[in-house]
Amino acid sequence: MTNLLVVEKVTKSYKKTVVLKNISLQIADEGQIIQLKGINGSGKSTLFKLISGMEKPDYGEIKLAATTNLGALIENPGFLENFSLAYNLRYLASIKSKFDEAYVKKLCQILALDLYSRIKIKNYSVGMRQKAGIIQAIMEKQNLILLDEPSRGLDQESLQKFVTLMNQLRQEGRNIIIASHEEYEEMKIDECLKIEHGILSPISDR
């Protein structure tokens, strides 16, 4: 089975503070949801930035397979603030591939966003921005998806829709890593990991 991601003995520091210590991780292409826990500042977002290539490790290696199609929502999603949701999603899709309007429209309907609304992104609520960020991370049928605190700002109904969508993507064979404090009771989480004092380890009992 192909490993979409291999993180090998990665260390990352900021100034004199070591955030990640000798971290190793492998993600196989098998359709799974992995939850990554840790207190604020523990290094969850840093690990996602390293995997996505936004930052480089001090030591160690991060390898993505040739078949890896990476999608990511890291910290606050960034958009072209003076443009609509449709404009933003079309623009982001154009960078790597074609815009699948029917699929994006379906995702918007699931998460209760209007793809064709003329409202500018700068006028979106926190929850609406999060949903837009989730959509951009999955709309190109990415097979490795990194979601950093994706349920921030979501109301209970939207949270349930998010959980249902994640379970559906898992069934489709897509691989999702969610960094969050949330307890997603109805989400089919295959493995739970934690970062504590810079060290990545499994949580045996969730």
What is the rounded CA–CA span in Å between residue 176 and residue 171?
11
Q: How many Å separate Cα 56 from the centre of its chain?
A: 18
Of 191, 200, 195, 206, the C-alpha closest to 28 is: 191
Q: Is the dihedral of CA 81, 83, 89, 93 positive or negative?
A: negative
Q: Name residue, tokens 């997603």.
A: 184
Q: Are 130 and 152 in contact (CB under 8 A)?
A: yes
Residue 95 tokens, joined: 């960078």
158 three-class SS: helix
Write the burial class of residue 23 (CB in 10 Å: 0-12 exposed, 13-18 middle, 19+ buried): buried
> What tens-digit pLDDT sequence spans the chain (206 residues)?
789 999 999 999 998 899 999 999 999 999 999 999 998 889 999 999 999 999 999 999 999 999 999 999 998 778 999 999 999 999 999 988 889 999 999 999 999 999 999 999 999 999 999 999 999 999 999 999 999 999 999 999 999 999 999 999 999 999 999 999 888 989 999 999 999 999 999 987 54
Backbone angles phi, psi at 161, to 5 degrees: -65, -40
Query: What does the alpha-carbon distance between residue 156 and residue 186 come to, in Å, rounded to a whole number?
Result: 13
Residue 164 CB neighbours (<10 A): 13
Q: What are the tokens at 26?
A: 């492998």
- Would you tell me how many other CB atoms lie within 10 Å of the CB of residue 175? 23
pLDDT at position 16 is 87
Q: Where are the alpha helices (DSSP H) in the chain?
A: 44-52, 85-96, 101-110, 126-138, 156-171
CATH superfamily of 3-202: P-loop containing nucleotide triphosphate hydrolases (3.40.50.300)
* Owner of token pair 């591939």: 97
Q: What six digits make up the tokens of 30?
A: 């098998």
